[in-house]
Amino acid sequence: MLVIDLERAKVTLNETWNEMLGSWTKTLLRYMYGDDVSVVANLNEEEQTTTKFKIKGKYQDIKSYAIAVASEKEFLDAFKEFGEGHPQTMAKRQELRNSVADFERTTGLKWPFKDED
């Protein structure tokens, strides 16, 4: 089971935790894309799924993380579909930057990916 513990990451800020946050986020993005990963939604607690992950922390931290991950995916989708300079891609890039800034402000953690111009 993949466990993302934002509270523990805040307590032990170091290079290893930053790398782990990046790795966890990449794994979540792979699950979101689902090209080569089998993802099953578990709507009934008694049913088991093959993909398991848990995000732990304060509500605001988890919410800002979820929004940032979703923004990362939306930006990557726009980049893939429209290309770098397209207005929709640029709009998604700005949304991503805003989400990342909110995540960093809310959690005190650095977002593990950098948007390069």
Q: pLDDT digits over 83-93, tens only?
A: 999 999 999 99
The verdict on residue 44 lying in a domain is yes
State the pTM of this model. Answer: 0.68
The verdict on residue 117 lying in a domain is no
- Residue 3, helix vs strand vs coil: strand
Split at pLDDT 50, 70, 90, the class of 54 is: confident
Instruction: Give the DSSP letter of residue 46.
Output: T
**Which tokens in the block code for residue 58?**
């304060």
Asked if pLDDT for residue 25 goes beyond 60, the answer is: yes
In angstroms, the CA 28 to CA 56 distance is 14
- Structure confidence at residue 74 (pLDDT): 93
Structural domain containing residue 57: 2-107
Per the structure, the count of domains in the chain is 1
Q: How far is CA 39 from CA 32, 81, 86, in A?
A: 8, 23, 31
Q: pLDDT digits over 61-113, tens only?
A: 989 998 999 999 999 899 999 999 999 999 999 999 999 999 999 998 888 87
Q: How far is CA 79 from CA 22, 92, 106, in A?
A: 20, 9, 27
In angstroms, the CA 32 to CA 43 distance is 17
